[in-house]
């Protein structure tokens, strides 16, 4: 007898909120009671109060019953886990690494690519690459930016490390000289003061003139460091390279663009200064494609296409400031995101496999239970709770992995802006982790769940369900092998790119070289034009140190290509096809660095001291004019300057870090006024370079302790610093690939050993029919290898596709070739064979008679 009244239907509907087990047992009596009570309630008031009590009862008891069942399922899960702690531990660890690495890498992607920059309307800011607007004078630049049809405003900035007089002696500070509209264009409100404006820009060489131009906005941090956060800082004086600047503003906390700048000052324009960077804001209403088109036209007009032979010239282009800041890290981060997603996917297939295997083992028990009335939904929920619990525990453990990943990433590729620091405590990152935690159980739980449906639908046909599960599991292993091959191929590709990067002939011997940078800017040596005597005195002391074989100095050390000077040098008045960088060096430089002189010789002490017009050119420059060795004796020319006589040709010294842009034209001239830019002493020593660092530094400081000495490092350390990111990428991808391989091997082992258990009877009969265990094991080996091969072939196809992507992301990475592909497949087959062979070792010990008896 069912209650067909409206209220009865409503109550029946509400009862569905209870978990199915509870509903099955009690919905009958509850409905009956409901009818009785409704019948007893007299009048609308009583009825209303009855309903209120009923709803309150539901509100209390539904969550109680639900959580009760979930807790029961969770307890059940923990019992399962404690029975097979290795399985559970492995699944949790694999997932924790997967989820953790994903979270960590995502926090980097979020900071670099998704978090909006701390500027006004950051989406409209652009970075112009390989393009400097007219900049011979302040007026020229400001006129240009005002007449632009597609830019609302534009800013020039030049970055340079300069000496800053601090409380405790002189330190180095990252300074940006910017056009006066810098802060207003970015829309950054100064924390204190008015800052400077375009009228403060001047036309002058170097970093400026006294007066209006000699002002500075300092960073919030510098304000705290130098002035202790004194609000009366405006009007105070700080000394940069010995010249006083008046503080006219304090930047807002965290503002450090560009490149952790500590100080900004109005620009000094001079013709020929090509060190400027350009950022701009798009005009309102102008779309990105319109702006790009307009920019392309302008870039074309101002710098026509270079000769096609010049593969090193980069074309001007426009990117969003966000992408520009992320630079190469953008692609690297995306590549990593892809790699860690693959790892997570592999971990998921593995766990799915594990769960299906276990569910298959329990198939008989489960079909019995479902026959006894435990509903399919209940079984499914039990599995779901187990999956959720698994991912929850893994996500918590994964936070440790994520934290480690994030701090590692901050070391390897520090964020370009302070406001972009990598953090796990970010809304988007937390949402991502939560999504991962909820989605991964579906990824590895879905197939086992579908499998449960099969059991229930055909409770008697367990064998068909089992073979179905075998098919699913084998497909999972195929997928797993495929993903593993993709990762392995990627790791080989990256590894090769890295080896190539390391094997590049840098043109010098990195071992046994000590390097120490100094700056004479703002010191008495610079003011009295006595830089050279200082350098000679220091070199004299270094050369007399025990264990030092040779010493010299250069104004630009290899690997530090920034703030280069150079120009359109030529030979005997014939210009070279592309401009050359100019490196002033002291005597004995090539000997010290282990460079190779192909023809002629390098500078002598006397030539450097007298400022002789002699030069050494690199092989590439000389090759532009015929046989490289024949350049010796010719005249090195540029514009109307007095020519230099070429006295030597050297093997190119690698200045760039990126092999694709490396080895441009280089000319070396005697260093007549060293001490600016990044002047560095170099010394070749016997034995380990590290052991001589302190000694060389002390020798330099003994000449004059007031000269700031910094970057006391071996050349190898500098190289390692430069290549920390590629080295890290390689190592990380290798680790991921190794991890994937481990998971794949475990997956293969699992499926084969499970097949042995399930086919025990069949195998027993085969043995009874005369097969030897070895024959059976071989049969299983081939069956297993077939699965591996299918996955491997798919994996190679996938690797070719992802390889194309890798080529665009990592310079030097190449798609896998056939040799690599074949060796990868062979390697994987070998590992898989070992795994299969050990998984089938049970067969040898099968007791045929007992198997047949049970049959």
Tell the smallest beta-carbon distance from residue 427 to other proteins (Å).
Answer: 37
H helices present in 691-845, as ranges = 693-703, 715-722, 724-758, 760-768, 773-809, 818-839
CB of 82 to other proteins, least distance (A): 22
Does 33 help bind other proteins (rule: CB under 8 A)? yes
- Cα(543)–Cα(550) distance, rounded to whole angstroms? 6
The CB-of-83 to other proteins minimum distance in angstroms stands at: 22
Under 8 Å between Cβ of 665 and 581: yes
Contact 478/791 with Cβ under 8 angstroms?
yes
Q: How far is the CB of 391 from other proteins (least distance, A)?
A: 29
Q: What is the DSSP letter of 707?
A: S
- Number of residues forming the site for other proteins (CB under 8 A): 24
Interacting residue with other proteins among 25, 274, 772, 808 (CB under 8 A): 25
Residue 60 sits in the site that holds other proteins (CB under 8 A): yes
Residues from 219 through 258 that contact other proteins (CB under 8 A): none
The three-state secondary structure class of 601 is coil
Part of the chain binding other proteins (CB under 8 A), chosen from 54-62, 568-576, 660-668, 774-782? 54-62
Q: Cis peptide leading into 258, omega within 30 of 0?
A: yes
Residue 125 near residue 281, CB atoms below 8 Å: yes
Is the distance from CB of 265 to CB of 140 less than 8 angstroms?
A: no
- Identify which range of 25-33, 89-97, 125-133, 268-276 contacts other proteins by CB under 8 A: 25-33
**Rounded Cα distance, 689 and 512, in Å:** 5
**Between 58 and 781, whose beta carbon lies closer to other proteins?**
58
Q: Which is nearer to other proteins, 69 or 298 (CB)?
A: 69
Interacting span for other proteins (CB under 8 A) from 63-71, 134-142, 365-373, 598-606: 63-71
Q: Give 61 or 319: the residue with its C-beta nearer to other proteins.
A: 61
Q: Which residue among 41, 47, 62, 846 contacts other proteins (CB under 8 A)?
A: 62
- CB atoms under 10 Å from CB of 20, counted, come to 16
* Helix orientation angle between 85-109 and 724-758, rounded to the nearest 10 degrees: 150
Considering beta carbons, is residue 36 or 572 the nearer one to other proteins?
A: 36
Under the binding rule (CB under 8 A), the answer on residue 57 touching other proteins is: yes
For other proteins, the closer of residues 66 and 190 by Cβ is 66
Nearer to other proteins, 55 or 834 (CB): 55
Q: How are beta strands 268-269 and 202-203 bridged, if at all? A: parallel
**Beta carbon nearer to other proteins, 32 or 574:** 32
Q: Give the residue carrying structure tokens 């941090």.
A: 221
Q: Work out how close the CB of 26 gets to other proteins at its nearest, in angstroms, rounded to a whole number.
A: 4
* Closest separation in Å from C-beta 56 to other proteins: 7
Nearest distance from C-beta of residue 68 to other proteins, angstroms: 8
Residues 6+ apart with CB under 8 A from 770: none
CA-derived radius of gyration, the chain? 36
Tell me the closest approach of the beta carbon of residue 736 to other proteins, in angstroms: 47
Q: Is 740 helix (H, G, I), strand (E, B) or coil?
A: helix
Region binding other proteins by CB under 8 A among candidate stretches 30-38, 366-374, 514-522, 570-578: 30-38
26 binds other proteins (CB under 8 A): yes
Q: Check if the beta carbon of residue 680 is closer than 8 Å to that of residue 613.
A: no
Based on the shown chain and the rule CB under 8 A, indicate whether residue 54 belongs to the binding site for other proteins: yes
Q: Pick between residue 60 and residue 364 the one whose CB is nearest to other proteins.
A: 60
Length of the chain counted residue by residue: 855
Distance CA 383, CA 76 (A): 10
Please choose, out of 55-63, 297-305, 383-391, 771-779, the segment that lies near other proteins by the rule CB under 8 A. 55-63
* Identified binder of other proteins from the candidate list 53, 189, 411, 529, rule CB under 8 A: 53
Instruction: For other proteins, give the closer residue by CB, 17 or 831.
Output: 17
- Pick the closer one to other proteins by CB: 9 or 139: 9
Pairing of the two strands 548-554 and 574-575: unpaired
Specify the residue, 56 or 822, whose C-beta has the smaller distance to other proteins. Answer: 56
Among 7, 8, 24, 58, interactor with other proteins by CB under 8 A: 58
Report the SS3 class of residue 506: coil
Spell 664-703 as b/e; 16+ CB within 10 A means b: bbbbbbbbebbbbbbbbbbbbbeeebeebbebbbebbbeb
Closest contact distance (angstroms) between CB of 407 and other proteins is 47
| Binding residues among 66-95 for other proteins as defined by CB under 8 A | 68
Cβ proximity to other proteins, 62 vs 725, nearer residue:
62
> Cβ 450 to other proteins, closest distance in Å?
31
Position 847 contacts other proteins (CB under 8 A): no
Give percent helix, percent strand, percent coil of the chain, each to the nearest 5: 60, 15, 25
Q: How far is the CB of 400 from other proteins (least distance, A)?
A: 37
C-beta of 28 vs 738, nearer to other proteins: 28
Distant-in-sequence, close-in-space partners of 722: CB < 8 Å, separation ≥ 6: 559, 657
DSSP reduced 3-state for 173: strand
Pick the closer one to other proteins by CB: 53 or 315: 53
Please check whether residue 114 is in contact with residue 428, taking contact to mean a CB–CB distance below 8 angstroms. Answer: yes
- Min CB(17)–other proteins separation in Å: 9
DSSP 652: P
Q: Looking at 8, 30, 121, 122, which residue binds other proteins (CB under 8 A)?
A: 30
CA distance 507 to 207: 34
- What are the structure tokens assigned to 854, written together? 């049970």
Binding span for other proteins by CB under 8 A among 29-37, 561-569, 609-617, 698-706? 29-37
**Does residue number 22 form part of the binding site for other proteins (CB under 8 A)?**
yes
Candidates 17-25, 390-398, 473-481, 807-815; binding stretch for other proteins (CB under 8 A):
17-25
Which span sits near other proteins by CB under 8 A: 28-36, 229-237, 410-418, 716-724? Answer: 28-36
Phi, psi of 547 (to 5 degrees): 90, -10
Stretch that binds other proteins, among 20-28, 171-179, 262-270, 457-465 (CB under 8 A): 20-28
Greatest Cα-to-Cα distance within the chain, rounded to the nearest angstrom? 120
Instruction: Choose, by CB under 8 A, the member of 5, 9, 10, 28 that binds other proteins.
Output: 28
Which of 1, 45 has the CB closer to other proteins?
A: 1
Q: Does 29 contact other proteins by CB under 8 A?
A: yes
Beta-strand relationship, 169-178 and 263-266: parallel
Q: Go through 556-566 and write b for each residue having 16 or more CB atoms within 10 A of its CB, e for each that does not.
A: bbbbbbeebeb
**CA 372/CA 242 separation, integer angstroms:** 90
The least CB distance from residue 66 to other proteins, in Å, is 11
Identify residues 426-455 at the interface with other proteins (CB under 8 A).
none
Site membership for other proteins, residue 56 (CB under 8 A): yes
Q: Residue 34 Cβ, how far from other proteins at the closest point, in Å? A: 7
Q: What angle do CA 386, 391, 394 make, to 5 degrees?
A: 125
C-alpha 799/C-alpha 197 separation (Å) is 54
Among 65, 137, 224, 375, binds other proteins (CB under 8 A): 65
Give the C-alpha separation, 837 to 831, whole Å. 10
Terminal Cα distance for the chain, rounded: 51
Which residues bind to other proteins, rule: CB under 8 A?
A: 1, 18, 22, 25-26, 28-34, 36, 53-54, 56-58, 60-62, 64-65, 68
């Amino acid at each position: 007898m069912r209650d067909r009244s409206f209220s009865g239907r409503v109550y029946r509907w509400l009862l569905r909120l209870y978990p199915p087990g509870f509903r099955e047992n009690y919905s009958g009596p509850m409905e009956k009671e409901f009818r009785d009570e409704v019948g007893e309630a007299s009048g609308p008031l009583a009825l209303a109060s009855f309903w209120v009590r009923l709803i309150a009862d539901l509100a209390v008891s539904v969550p109680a019953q639900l959580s009760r069942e979930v807790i029961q399922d969770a307890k059940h899960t923990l019992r399962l886990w404690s029975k097979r702690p290795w399985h559970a531990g492995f699944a949790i660890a694999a997932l924790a690494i997967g989820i953790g690495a994903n979270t960590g890498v995502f926090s980097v992607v979020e900071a670099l690519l998704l978090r909006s920059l701390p500027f006004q309307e950051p989406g409209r800011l652009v970075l112009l690459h390989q393009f400097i607007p007219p900049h011979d004078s302040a007026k020229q630049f400001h006129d240009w930016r005002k007449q632009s049809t597609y830019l609302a405003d534009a800013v020039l900035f030049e970055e340079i490390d300069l000496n800053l007089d601090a409380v405790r002696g002189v330190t180095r500070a990252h300074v940006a000289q910017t056009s006066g509209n810098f802060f207003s264009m970015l829309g950054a409100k100064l924390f204190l003061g008015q800052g400077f404006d375009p009228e403060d820009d001047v036309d002058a060489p170097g970093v400026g003139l006294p007066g209006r131009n000699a002002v500075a906005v300092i960073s919030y941090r510098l304000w705290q460091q130098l002035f202790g956060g004194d609000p009366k800082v405006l009007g105070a004086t700080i000394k940069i390279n010995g010249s006083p600047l008046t503080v006219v503003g304090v930047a807002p906390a965290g503002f450090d663009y560009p490149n952790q700048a500590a100080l900004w000052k109005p620009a000094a324009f001079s013709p020929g200064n090509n060190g400027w960077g350009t950022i701009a804001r798009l005009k309102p209403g102008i779309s990105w494609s319109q702006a790009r088109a307009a920019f392309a036209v302008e870039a074309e007009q101002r710098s026509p296409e270079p000769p096609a032979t010049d593969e090193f010239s980069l074309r001007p282009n426009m990117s969003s400031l966000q992408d520009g800041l992320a630079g190469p890290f953008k692609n690297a981060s995306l590549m990593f995101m892809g790699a860690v997603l693959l790892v997570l996917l592999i971990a998921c297939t593995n766990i799915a496999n594990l769960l299906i295997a276990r569910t298959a083992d329990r198939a008989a028990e489960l079909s019995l239970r479902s026959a006894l009335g435990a509903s399919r939904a209940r079984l499914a929920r039990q599995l779901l709770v187990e999956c959720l619990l698994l991912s929850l525990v893994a996500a918590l453990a994964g936070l440790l992995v994520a934290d480690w990943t994030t701090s590692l990433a901050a070391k390897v590729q520090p964020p370009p802006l302070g406001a972009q620091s990598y953090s796990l405590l970010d809304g988007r990152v937390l949402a991502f982790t939560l999504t991962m935690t909820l989605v991964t159980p579906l990824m590895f739980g879905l197939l086992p769940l579908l499998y449960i449906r099969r059991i229930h639908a055909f409770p008697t046909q367990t064998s068909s369900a089992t073979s179905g599960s075998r098919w699913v599991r084998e497909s999972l292993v195929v997928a797993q092998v495929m993903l593993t091959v993709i990762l392995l191929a990627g790791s080989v590709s990256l590894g090769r790119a890295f080896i190539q990067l390391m094997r590049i002939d840098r043109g010098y011997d990195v071992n046994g070289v000590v390097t120490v940078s100094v700056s004479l800017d703002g010191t008495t040596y610079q003011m009295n034009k006595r830089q050279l005597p200082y350098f000679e005195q220091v070199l004299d002391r270094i050369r007399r140190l025990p264990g030092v074989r040779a010493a010299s100095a250069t104004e630009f050390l290899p690997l530090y290509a920034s703030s280069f000077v150079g120009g359109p040098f030529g030979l005997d008045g014939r210009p070279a096809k592309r401009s050359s960088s100019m490196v002033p060096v002291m005597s004995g430089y090539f000997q010290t660095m282990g460079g190779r002189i192909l023809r002629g010789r390098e500078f002598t002490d006397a030539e450097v001291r007298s400022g002789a017009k002699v030069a050494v050119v690199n092989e590439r420059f000389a090759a532009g004019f015929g046989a490289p060795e024949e350049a010796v004796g010719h005249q090195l020319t540029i514009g109307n300057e007095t020519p230099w006589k070429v006295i030597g040709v050297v093997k190119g010294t690698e200045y760039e870090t990126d092999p694709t842009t490396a080895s441009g034209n280089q000319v070396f001239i005697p260093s007549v006024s060293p001490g600016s830019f990044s002047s560095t002493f170099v010394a070749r020593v016997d034995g380990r370079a590290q052991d001589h660092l302190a000694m060389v530094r002390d020798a330099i400081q003994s000449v004059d302790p007031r000269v700031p000495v910094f970057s006391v490092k071996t050349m190898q350390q500098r190289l390692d610093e430069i290549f920390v990111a590629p080295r890290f990428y390689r190592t990380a991808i290798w680790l991921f690939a190794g991890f994937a391989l481990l998971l794949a091997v475990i997956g293969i082992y699992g499926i084969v050993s499970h097949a042995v258990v399930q086919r025990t009877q069949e195998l027993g009969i085969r043995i009874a029919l005369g097969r030897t265990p070895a024959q059976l094991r071989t049969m299983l080996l081939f069956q297993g290898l077939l699965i591996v091969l299918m996955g491997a072939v798919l994996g190679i196809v996938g690797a070719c596709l992802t390889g194309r992507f890798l080529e665009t992301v990592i310079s030097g990475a190449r798609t896998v070739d056939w040799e690599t592909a074949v060796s990868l497949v062979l390697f994987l087959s070998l590992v898989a064979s070992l795994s299969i062979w050990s998984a089938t070792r049970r067969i040898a010990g099968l007791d045929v008679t007992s198997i047949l008896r049970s049959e």
